[in-house]
Structure 1
């Protein structure tokens, strides 16, 4: 089935015929006194509603296994729990600020090493050491929208015995399916596009590996960062409109990006594939579109604070992927955990803005941007 159908039809309540499967809120479940067994025992270890969501998450990615966590960072932390003392992870310098914070502030105490590289395109077999256990990739990167060739990275990493983890939050399975491109694990902040309404936190992990799946099951039980039944239920419903929302948001983002590129109040526009013809080719080969995130810098003489204050439609707030447009200043918001030098190494300037395009009418968004540009001169 195509993903538009999967998003809607992945679940059915065949027992009762309900179009929408019911929500199960129980924290504990009756077990067989003779064996101590049952389909479910305690909500942290498993819950029927969360299990339904995990079926949907796996189906979207074409994966054998799916796991739902309380937040995107809980999902990332569960993936990092695969590592052992002495292991090294290679990451792009422009990784999401929350992931950077985890590596920068928590790895050392766990006996782990994180190595940030300016450009994964330059990675070669010589960059892998016996300690390299994992390559963690964002493509497009947050917020620079740099593109990484997942097939190439997977080949390099697997030859060195390392896992490939892809944060697919920006693309979602609608536009990019990392497991089909060679990744071992896909992780998402389901708070963003999957939920799409800026009203719940969730994280997702998918994999085809039975061994990794067993470790994720253990992480759910041992670390406890699981998604509640109520939010699992809501996320199942949100996912049904995911392909429709993505299509509208991407279409509007393309129109807005073209407008920004021609506007004299804008100094630079960043899109997936905009850095080079090679990155454009890679993006086209591994994704079904550029997504709905635009990063840009204002031209000299345009006051950033005045521009942001003048906006009426995009909300100045962290996060992305919601039905409402959001705009943020990565240097002081999403990536504030990074030092000025780390941001410079990642290509995140102090003037960079990140716009997450919502489902508002594109003409209204463009008109609002224009009046804010005028007010900021």
Structure 2
């Protein structure tokens, strides 16, 4: 066996060790929390460190940002108090009248933000069907489009968009590409390496993984004027991630690789079991070879498809709702990416203005035993009919 002692550490090792963090004074392996909201200056009245006030930055939050930047291969990362506040900072950092191209169906909170900016005239929004690169190209306004938003896989039908191809379209029109790959975190999809300019994640989900933090992450391939404007927006809005939440996020990310591997394994087992099921119209999961985006998803995730899938029941919307109500292990709750499995009737949660199949149930698959989860869905489907 050839031993290469000088080879770079793998991302899995760096992540598990929180970037090889050891607290110098005591040798503590758990990163400390710095809760201070303000910092005393030195005898010369200069800041002792690059910290003045908590609304700007903090050691614990900086540590969490460094871990994500390392995982993303990013020039810099900023953490926000929620995914929504991160998305809001991007949109508000754009100049008035800027043109944005985005999917017509995407995470409904960000879509509502875009619709608000469009209705007030601050931004001009054009939509394309998720995954349709020809429609994306047709929506571009060369020299005017400032930002192209891609969500892949797309929530909640898990349509896949080719990030590298989308980057070519955006750059050809002089626009920046931002990707939301929340459903396949950077241990699966490294969007910046595929050509994205900004990578967005709701860190509430897989990055934290324990349903006890709300956070948003933005990572950038190259810093510049837009990135500076986003950072300033975070300071002005006071939406920097707080110290304790940053510490919880660090703790959660140390097991990210293990969690997502198990969640992918479970989701694939569930998808395979229920594909062609007599009580379902369809199973939507990019990990299935029958999924139209399977080949692109496999390339963009190295086969780590993540733990999100949707099922569309036969019958009507009430059948789907009754299936969710009858589950004993899947919790009927919003959000995704935690260690526990969740089921959600998406139409109920997203509301009437969101284009989603009335019978669609979104599943966030956790780390439980796969057969237990399959049995739970089987009994719930039978109970619903």
TM-score, length basis structure 2: 0.91
2:53 is aligned with 1:42: yes
- In the alignment, which residue of structure 2 is the partner of 1:297? 312
Which among 9, 13, 32 is matched to residue 22 of structure 2?
13
Moved over 4 A (4+): 273-278
Counterpart-to-counterpart distance in 2, 1:282 and 1:29: 48
- In the alignment, which residue of structure 1 is the partner of 2:135? 123
- In the alignment, which residue of structure 1 is the partner of 2:358? 350
Alignment of 1:96-111 (within 5 A): 96-109=107-120, 111=122
Q: Which runs of 5+ in 1 are unaligned?
A: none
* CA RMSD across the alignment: 1.9
Per-residue deviation at 1:304?
2.1
Counterpart-to-counterpart distance in 2, 1:366 and 1:232: 34
2:376 is aligned with 1:375: no
Contact 1:63 1:206 in 2 (8 A): yes
Question: SS where residue 331 of structure 1 aligns?
Answer: helix
Which among 64, 73, 80 is matched to residue 69 of structure 1?
80
- Show CA shifts across 1:329-359 (max 9, x none): 11121x22x61xx50xxxx211111001011
Counterpart-to-counterpart distance in 2, 1:134 and 1:124: 12
Contact 2:208 2:253 in 1 (8 A): yes
Q: Which runs of 5+ in 2 are unaligned?
A: 1-8
90-99 vs 303-312, which moves further: 303-312
Which among 187, 208, 220 is matched to residue 174 of structure 1?
187
2:330 is aligned with 1:314: yes
- In the alignment, which residue of structure 2 is the partner of 1:365? 373
Question: SS where residue 186 of structure 2 aligns?
Answer: helix
* Cα distance change, pair 96–160 in 1 and its aligned pair in 2 (3 A): same
Q: Which one scores higher on RCO, CA 8 angstroms, separation ≥ 6?
A: 1
- Show CA shifts across 1:73-112 (max 9, x none): 1111112123111111111112100111101123433610
Contact 1:245 1:323 in 2 (8 A): yes
Counterpart-to-counterpart distance in 2, 1:37 and 1:107: 42
- In the alignment, which residue of structure 2 is the partner of 1:218? 232
Contact 1:86 1:131 in 2 (8 A): no
- In the alignment, which residue of structure 2 is the partner of 1:80? 91
Contact 1:95 1:138 in 2 (8 A): yes
- In the alignment, which residue of structure 2 is the partner of 1:253? 267
Counting matched residue pairs gives: 369
* Cα distance change, pair 296–124 in 1 and its aligned pair in 2 (3 A): closer
* Cα distance change, pair 250–71 in 1 and its aligned pair in 2 (3 A): same
- In the alignment, which residue of structure 1 is the partner of 2:4? none
Counterpart-to-counterpart distance in 1, 2:190 and 2:347: 29
Counterpart-to-counterpart distance in 1, 2:221 and 2:43: 34
Counterpart-to-counterpart distance in 2, 1:318 and 1:128: 33
Counterpart-to-counterpart distance in 2, 1:127 and 1:195: 35
- In the alignment, which residue of structure 2 is the partner of 1:32? 42
Contact 1:267 1:300 in 2 (8 A): no
- In the alignment, which residue of structure 2 is the partner of 1:237? 251
Question: SS where residue 283 of structure 2 aligns?
Answer: strand
Alignment of 1:135-214 (within 5 A): 135-211=148-224, 212-214=226-228
